[in-house]
Amino acid sequence: MKLRTILSELPIGGYVVHDEAELGWDMVVSPVWGTGAGTQGVIRLGSVSDLAQDGAPATDQGLMLVYEQRDAQGDAGERDADGRVDPSCEESVVRCWGRLCPSDFQDAFLGLVRRSGELAARRNQLFECFLDSYDMRQFARKAASVLGNPVIISNTEHKVLAHAGELPTTDDVRSVLEAGYITPEVERHMREDGIISSVRAARHSIMSERSGEKDRCVTSIIYHHRLEMGRFDVFEATHRMTGLDLELVDFASDLAGIMIDRLGAAGGRLGRGSSILQDALEGTFMNEEALRAHLELLGLSPDDAFVLLRVLGPQDANEDYYARAGAIVQRTMPDVAWCVADGALVLLVSLGPSAEVGFDSYERCERRLARDRALAQLLENNDMRAYVCEPFADLASLRQRLGECRELCDAVPPADARSRVVYLWRHRFEVVAHNSELAGAQDMLLDKRVVAMDAYDREHGTSYLETAVASVRFPGSPADAAEALSVHRNTYFYRVNKIRDLFHVDLKDGDDRLAVSFSAAIMEGLAGSR
């Protein structure tokens, strides 16, 4: 039982300890009165006369709780004018005072001997729950049963990892459950009430009243290896919580920290990537408001345009490999949300707001990524390639955009990619060709006159299709078209006329020019995918 728990459960008006750190010590409550022989880690009850007669216990003889009957006012006798502990307050002595007579206080103290046994039994139950749980939801359900009250467990990104028990139906709690994350309004209430700062400063759970609500709640910060992993909140719904319950919440919070670390659910602030982004991409959770709030936490405006980058490494790259790459992103590209999903490292990059009426996101994206030296070094140093989807503003389309990245990678595999960053809009027809081939619809996309032209060139060694494409690419400029083909203008005109006669394609007709351009691009894409 923690020393702070012991003091909180006793009917005292105040106390003073030599060092505040002692409040976090685990102590065994001893029924022995007075000093006598003790053991380190044991706390015994004494009186002022015991302390005067026998002195304070040695440092290896545990603590002595010295009780004095008096009014429950101030501790001026133990602190000087500056509020510092009086030097006479011995290291192994905890002083407290209250209105009960010593015999009644002794009964209250000895009652903690029995309650400490109950506490140990419930701690063991929580530990068994931890050992038997394979995910956070199961642990929350079992922990709520042991604690006797409903719980909400969230990570560093305010995402609700699990909840269990009959939670209150207040607006704050309902909004959290509906959104799947601790909403900015609830977080603001807790900051304004000083709850979060108090818990962080105390490093243990604190009982609080919800702002604007009647519900009492115990809030605990989840730590693991001294790193903040999230929050463990317990609502006082069916079981009246005491200091012993607060200690149980702390223990449950420690176990939750181990489980969050094991499951990799802490979030991007601990090198695990954005759990909210990962859920949105995998379709296990999609709340656009939650994602917008998460982007604001990262310093990104949810009203910006975005692109997804699906970053692929060597063939033997696994999840740990991409998680390490993500840690590099987190250190060097703080304005980028990332996670490991779909067998790759996925980056959500903001392009900022557009200042034009037209669609300038292609140019802005290429400028943004070209200037990002950290991204360039990540890709080059680790033999990685980034596949970039169409720019988008609708965050609800994240899964669709990841699908575009995947299709782009299938159409332009890493072995065929000419650069480290592959843009969908530069390989659009290769993706269309690849998808149409998979669907068996490639024949429907091709104008058969253009197909016949290509077949004729292959059989006779001519360049009619190349000439038709040059005509489309240099509209109204025969000289430029002829120069691109490295032929005389008369040769160019001769070929154009032969195209009309042999293949019934009039390069002065807009529809025929479109048929040439589109079919040639699809045929080139099909050849590339093969």
Q: What are 47's two structure tokens?
A: 């009186």
pLDDT band at residue 530 under the 50/70/90 scheme: low
What phi, psi does 424 have (nearest 5°)? -60, -40
pLDDT in tens, 238-249: 888 888 999 999
Let me know whether 257 and 280 are in one domain: no
Cβ contacts of 497 within 8 Å, gap of 6 or more: none
Mean pLDDT along residues 392-420: 90
Give the whole-angstrom CA distance, residue 230 versus residue 234: 14
- pLDDT of 124 > 70? The answer is yes
Give the whole-angstrom CA distance, residue 41 versus residue 380: 57
In a domain, residue 437? The reply is no
DSSP-based helix, strand, coil % in the chain, nearest 5: 50, 20, 30
Let me know whether 232 and 288 are in one domain: no
Q: Where are the alpha helices (DSSP H) in 264-342?
A: 275-282, 288-297, 319-332
Mean pLDDT along residues 377-402: 92
pLDDT in tens, 76-93: 444 444 444 444 567 889
Amino acid identity of residue 221, one-letter, is: I
pLDDT in tens, 496-508: 999 999 999 999 9
Q: What are 310's two structure tokens?
A: 């699906």
Q: Provide the pLDDT for residue 214.
A: 57
Mean pLDDT along residues 126-137: 90
Question: Max CA-CA distance within the chain?
Answer: 123
Cβ contacts of 280 within 8 Å, gap of 6 or more: 286, 291, 395, 398, 399
Give the whole-angstrom CA distance, residue 418 versus residue 135: 43
- pLDDT of 71 > 80? The answer is no
Q: Which residue has the higher pLDDT, 159 or 454?
A: 454
Mean pLDDT along residues 382-387: 94
Domain-terminating residue out of 266, 297, 315: 266
> Domain span at residue 235?
133-266
Burial class (CB in 10 A: 0-12, 13-18, 19+), 457: middle
Give the whole-angstrom CA distance, residue 488 versus residue 493: 9
pLDDT in tens, 188-210: 777 788 888 888 888 888 888 65
Q: Provide the pLDDT for residue 215.
A: 67
- pLDDT of 376 > 90? The answer is yes
CATH code, 304: 3.30.70
In a domain, residue 435? The reply is no
Let me know whether 394 and 305 are in one domain: yes
In a domain, residue 128? The reply is no
Closest CA to 9 of 354, 217, 242, 188: 242
Let me know whether 417 and 282 are in one domain: yes
Q: Per mean pLDDT, which of 148-152, 281-285, 334-338 is the most reliable?
A: 148-152
CATH code, 234: 3.30.450.40
Mean pLDDT along residues 155-177: 85
In a domain, residue 401? The reply is yes
Share of the chain above pLDDT 90, in %: 39
Q: Which residue has the higher pLDDT, 148 or 238?
A: 148
What is the pTM for the complete model shown? 0.58
Q: Provide the pLDDT for residue 85.
A: 41
Whether 208 and 219 have beta carbons less than 8 Å apart is answered as yes
Mean pLDDT along residues 322-341: 87
What is the full DSSP assignment across 358-415? S--HHHHHHHHHHH-HHHHHHHHHTT-EEEE---B--GGGHHHHHHHHHHHHHHS-TT
Q: Provide the pLDDT for residue 282.
A: 84
Cβ contacts of 115 within 8 Å, gap of 6 or more: 9, 244
Let me know whether 361 and 228 are in one domain: no
Report the run of H or E that residue 422 belongs to, with start and end.
strand 421-423
Q: Provide the pLDDT for residue 84.
A: 41
In a domain, residue 122? The reply is no
Let me know whether 205 and 288 are in one domain: no
- pLDDT of 253 > 50? The answer is yes
Cβ atoms within 10 Å of 450's Cβ, excluding its own: 24
Query: CA distances (Å), 523 to each of 307, 432, 455, in order?
Result: 28, 10, 12
Cα 302 from chain centroid (whole Å): 17
Q: Per mean pLDDT, which of 58-62, 138-142, 395-399 is the most reliable?
A: 138-142
Whether 231 and 220 have beta carbons less than 8 Å apart is answered as yes
Share of the chain above pLDDT 70, in %: 90
Let me know whether 292 and 393 are in one domain: yes
Mean pLDDT along residues 289-317: 82
Considering its fold, how many domains does the chain have in total?
4
pLDDT in tens, 338-349: 999 989 999 999
pLDDT band at residue 409 under the 50/70/90 scheme: very high
Q: Provide the pLDDT for residue 356.
A: 74
Q: Provide the pLDDT for residue 528.
A: 62
Let me know whether 103 and 195 are in one domain: no
Whether 3 and 9 have beta carbons less than 8 Å apart is answered as no
Q: Edge-to-edge, what's the strand order for the sheet holding 42-47?
A: 14-16, 93-98, 63-69, 42-47, 28-33
Q: What are 176's two structure tokens?
A: 């959290």
What phi, psi does 234 have (nearest 5°)? -120, 125
